[in-house]
Every structure is written in structure tokens, then in C-alpha cells.
Amino acid sequence: MSQVFQNIVCKFCGCLCDDITIEVEDARIKKVKKACVSGRGYFLDYDPSDVKPMIDGQEVEWDEAIAAAVDILDRADSPLIYGLSSTSSEGQRKAAKLADRIGATIDSTSSVCHFPTSQAFQAVGEATCTLGEVKDRADLMVFWGCNPMIAHPRHFARYSANAKGMLTKNGRKDRTVVVVDVRPTKTSKLADHFLQIKPGTDYEVMTTLRALIHGKKIGKGVEGVDMQQVEQLADLMKSCRYGVTFFGMGLTMSPGRAYNIAELFTLVAELNKFTRFSAMPMRGHGNVAGADQVLAWLSGYPTAVSMACGVPKMGPGEFTSVDMLANKEADAALIIASNPAAHFPQAAVKHLKSIPSIHIAPAGECLPDIANVILPTACCGIDAPGTAYRMDNVPLRLQTVMPNIRPTDEEILSRIIKAVKQ
Amino acid sequence: MKNKYTLITGRTKKQTDGLHKGACSPDHVNATSFVEIGPDDMAQLEITEGQIIKLLSSAGIVELPVQAGDLPVGLLFMPMGPTANKLVGAETFGTGMPSFKGLQVEVEIV
């Protein structure tokens, strides 16, 4: 007999769409309604079966696997805890506690997505808002260095360009959409205006916009950029009722990194002298925003935090995982709910493979080729409850649609915390 | 013959769909193992879609097929993933972020 669950949160991306309908039959998800293609796959491919943990590729009992994980952490002088973006905030909290207990460095997947945004936020602040405000009020949306039609497929429909809100009852007709990018994308094809810029010129274009909104005259402008379009964008930004800039890894991964974001935040702050304007990063993995939140509550810093000296220290380029691994600073690793093998440069992956490591993740996502100890857990938002933060830092409760057979990340981390040497 | 280009990596629909099957799954690896080149650069390089080329960076070398892309002259695109990461160096310039975008590469016809 099937059971139907409504208003379930999809944790695939930072949109955290909370209107999904799930039909469960014989302890498997059979139907998914309202989700995007990625969200449907996330639910339909999930296998909740009882899977045993492993040590060096051999199945073992849970007690033995946890003892092996504890042994790896006890022997390490410089352990790295990495990932966190697809676990619950309750699990993230336990990971931070473990880092504190053993003097580890803890770093989330933010370090290879929006850590430059956090650094910019620390430097110049951030004028931001919730997606509810965007839906109800925004009449100008600038998507800069991001492609939501691919990475966040329901963003337009639920929260931004096409959404119908309190002051935007006609949806798309009530909004002007601008895309700034280095190449045409599926998102730029839906925009009213597409400003195509040369790679690496984002900072210069933002500085030009800052000058223009303050009425200053520009000489030659930015090489390879249509200055008439830049002037038009400056006019749109000053004259809108409520503007918002969504930005992505086109800014955080390009030369300039945090400086690009700091310039964007400064532009947005200055626009508030003329109208209401906000900025919001397009966060990728389901609860990566939660990882920043939880680490910031507990340590004062969003990621790349070393607990080695007994007090938290943040170090971009030092305590960030790619640097910790490529510089051979980490001598053991605990990977939680993420896959650095697919997302890190080869030099970092090579060192990760050479040190003792533990992987805590839902069974199908475990990495037996990388980790010595595999601890296959339940998936929060499907068979484990928890909290996740949407890209606008609004926390949502994750419901379950079936009972968990495997333990949760939180339970496993609690057992490790109890057993490790302080 | 070697020619210098700027490489950016990013998400594609197939790459995103492949992620939930596992980032190291065949679906994800296949979806991330090609390079997009714009029409003007393809003409200048005298290459066609499906042809195997070699990309070289300071961090590594990959051989992979070409797909036609809507890209300006001098810019190449690869889906983010393990193949592109063979070209991305681990240098983060003190930021923690490797050069996943704006990477300088050379194209060699094989």
C-alpha cells in the first residue's frame, strides 16, 4: 500500500523547494511530483537499504567500524573534517563539536563555492533579504555569473523572475531581468537584457557601475564591454523600486574572487542611497548555507576553521581543505556528506588518497576508493529528520518519508565524540 | 600546433543530473568529459565536433572530444567534475579557492 507525503523539502540544491509530493510504496519512493529533474532523481534513486559499514573494502559491524574511525582520529596530529553541505544542521553541529574535541581543522564545501562571499561579507557587509521579499517586491533582478536554469531550475518559478507575489501580481511581466555573464546561457536567453563581458572583467564592470550611479563620467570604459549596455544597467538599477542581485561562482571562482564579491556588495550598498537593493549568493548544495551558519554560531567563522590551538582560527589558503591537502598539512581526514574526489584538484585528491580517512555519507554516495572506513548513514530529508538552511539563510525543517534503517550522521558523530581521546 | 585559451568550468544539466547517481558514477563522468569550443575557434583550429583534442595546463593534460558551444573567441567551457579537475591546479592564491574559472590552457590537435 502506498503512502503520500506532501510539502516535503527537496535538499538537492539551495532552493530547498518545500512543496514536493512524494509517494512511498514498499519502503521505496515510487513517485515524485513538482520537483525539477534533479530533485526527482535525488528522491527516486535513493536506496534506504541496510548497508554494512566497511574497513578497507571489507564489510564489518558498526562497533568495529566506529572503533576504526576513532583510532584514525586518535592517531592523527592534524586531522581535517571536511564536507557538511548535504547533512543536517544537527549533524553539522556534532561535526563542529568533534573538531573542537580533537583539535581538528573543520571546513565545509563552501571553501570551493562561496567562501569568497563570506570573506567579502566580513570585509564590507552585505545588504540582503529573503526569497519571500524577492517574490513579493523585486521588480529588477540581476543574475551575475550564475545560471539558475541549470543549477537551480525552479528558482525562476518559485522565488524570482516568474513568481507572482504581493506587489508583483503579474509575475514575469512585473519584472525586468538582466543577466551578466561571459557567455550566453539558458538563463541569459530568458533575460530582458544580457550584458556579455570579457572573462575577468567583472570587478571593472562593477566599479564602472558604481561610478555611473553616482553620476560620474566614464572615459573608455571596460575593454570588450558595450558601455551603452552598462549605462543602461546603471539606469535600471537606480530607477527600480526593489532590486536584487543574485550571483554565483562566475564571481567567486574567477580571478579576483572575494574582491569581486566585495565590489558587488559595495555597489549594492551604494544603490540603497537611491532605492532598495539587495544581494544574494546562489548557494549550491542543499544545506551548505547551514554549514556556514552552524560554524559561525559555534566558532565565529563560517568555514576553514582550525581548532588546533584550543581557540578557533580562520585561515583562507591555510585551513581551507584544498590547501590543507595539497600542502600535505592534513594527516587524516573525516569526510561528511560530500565528495571531494569529484570536486578537488588532482594534487589535493592525491594526498587525500594517501592518508587514513573516514567517509560518513548516505550509502550510495560513499567513497570506498578513497576512504579506509566507510560509515553509510541515512539521508536527512528522506529517512532522517533535521534542519537545513535555504540559500537566503531561512531554516526549514526536513521531514522524513520513511523510517531510517541506517543510523543518522548525527548519531554516528555522537558515538565518535564519546569515544575519541580529547 | 598549440594555441592559448581561457577555460571556465561550470554546471550543465547532464552533469547536475549525474550528481545524484554519485559524483564518480559513469553517468557523471561521461557528462563531464568533453570541452565546448566556439565556432570561430573551431574554424581557426580546423577541428570538427567529436574530434579528440588535447588540453594542457600547468597542472595536467587531458584528451577529450570537442562539442560546439556558444562561446566567444578564446574561451573554452568544460562541465565541472573530475576530468576538468585534472587541469585545475591546487594553487588557491591564499583564498582557498582553486582556479576553476579563468584557467589558462593550450589546445593541441592530436
- Concatenated DSSP letters for A262-279? HHHHHHHHHHTTTSEEEE
Contact A33, A20 (CB under 8 A): yes
Q: Is B40 on the interface with A (CB under 8 A)?
A: no
Cβ pair B17:A250 closer than 8 A: no
Separation CA A416–CA A71 (nearest Å): 10
Give the H or E element holding residue A180.
strand A176-181
Average pLDDT (B71-87) is: 95
Which residue from B89, B86, B79 is spatially nearest to B36, judged by alpha carbons? B79
Would residue A277 count as lying in a domain?
yes
Contacts of B96 in chain A (CB under 8 A): 107, 111-112, 115, 304, 316-317, 320-323
Q: Are residues A128 and A277 in the same domain?
A: yes
* pLDDT given for residue A220 in this prediction: 84
Q: Are residues A78 and A131 in the same domain?
A: no
Separation CA A319–CA B83 (nearest Å): 25
Question: pLDDT band for position B2 (50/70/90)?
Answer: low
* pLDDT given for residue B43 in this prediction: 97
Enumerate the domain spans of chain B. Answer: 2-109
* pLDDT given for residue A174 in this prediction: 97
Q: Are residues A277 and A290 in the same domain?
A: no
Beta strands in A237-385 (DSSP E): 242-247, 276-281, 305-306, 313-314, 332-336, 357-362, 373-377
Q: Are residues A171 and A213 in the same domain?
A: yes
In sequence order, what DSSP letters do the residues of A243-254 get, joined into one string?
A: EEEEE-HHHHSS
CB neighbour list of residue B56: distance below 8 Å, 6 or more residues apart: B2, B105, B106, B107, B108
Mutate which: B8, B21, B97, B100, vs A, most A CBs within 10 A = B97
Single residue among A281, A303, A335 that ends a domain in this structure: A281
Q: Is B92 on the interface with A (CB under 8 A)?
A: yes
Name the domain count of chain A. 3
Would residue A220 count as lying in a domain?
yes
Return the DSSP state at B32: T
* pLDDT given for residue A264 in this prediction: 98
User: Residue A244's CB: how many other CB atoms inside 10 A?
Assistant: 26
Residue A270's domain comprises 115-281
Q: Are residues A136 and A247 in the same domain?
A: yes
* pLDDT given for residue A201 in this prediction: 95
Separation CA A278–CA A264 (nearest Å): 10
Contacts of A45 in chain B (CB under 8 A): 20-21
Q: Are residues A333 and A362 in the same domain?
A: yes
Would residue A46 count as lying in a domain?
no
* pLDDT given for residue A65 in this prediction: 98
Q: Are residues A137 and A252 in the same domain?
A: yes
* CA of residue A147 relative to chain centroid, distance: 15
Q: Are residues A143 and A261 in the same domain?
A: yes
Cβ pair B22:A42 closer than 8 A: no
Q: Is B83 on the interface with A (CB under 8 A)?
A: no
Contacts of B35 in chain A (CB under 8 A): none
Cβ pair A183:B77 closer than 8 A: yes
Number of CB pairs, chain A paired with chain B, less than 8 A apart: 142
Question: pLDDT band for position B55 (50/70/90)?
Answer: very high
Contacts of B60 in chain A (CB under 8 A): 346
pLDDT at B34 over 60: yes
Q: Are residues A176 and A61 in the same domain?
A: no
Q: Are residues A144 and A69 in the same domain?
A: no
Grid cell, residue A294, equals 552552524
According to CATH, what is the number of the domain B2-109? Answer: 2.40.40.20
pLDDT at B73 over 60: yes
User: Residue A322's CB: how many other CB atoms inside 10 A?
Assistant: 28
Kindly report the length of chain A: 422
Contacts of A82 in chain B (CB under 8 A): none
Cβ pair A347:B90 closer than 8 A: yes
Question: pLDDT band for position B40 (50/70/90)?
Answer: very high
Contacts of A367 in chain B (CB under 8 A): 24
Which domain CATH number covers A258?
A: 3.40.228.10
Would residue A319 count as lying in a domain?
yes
Q: In chain A, whose CA is at the least distance from the CA of B38?
A: A183
Bridge partner residues of A28 (DSSP): A25
Q: Are residues A246 and A364 in the same domain?
A: no
* pLDDT given for residue A342 in this prediction: 85
10-residue block means of pLDDT along chain A (422 residues)? 96 97 96 95 94 96 98 98 97 98 98 97 96 98 97 97 97 98 98 96 97 93 91 98 98 96 98 98 95 97 97 97 98 95 93 97 82 96 97 97 96 98 83
Would residue A224 count as lying in a domain?
yes
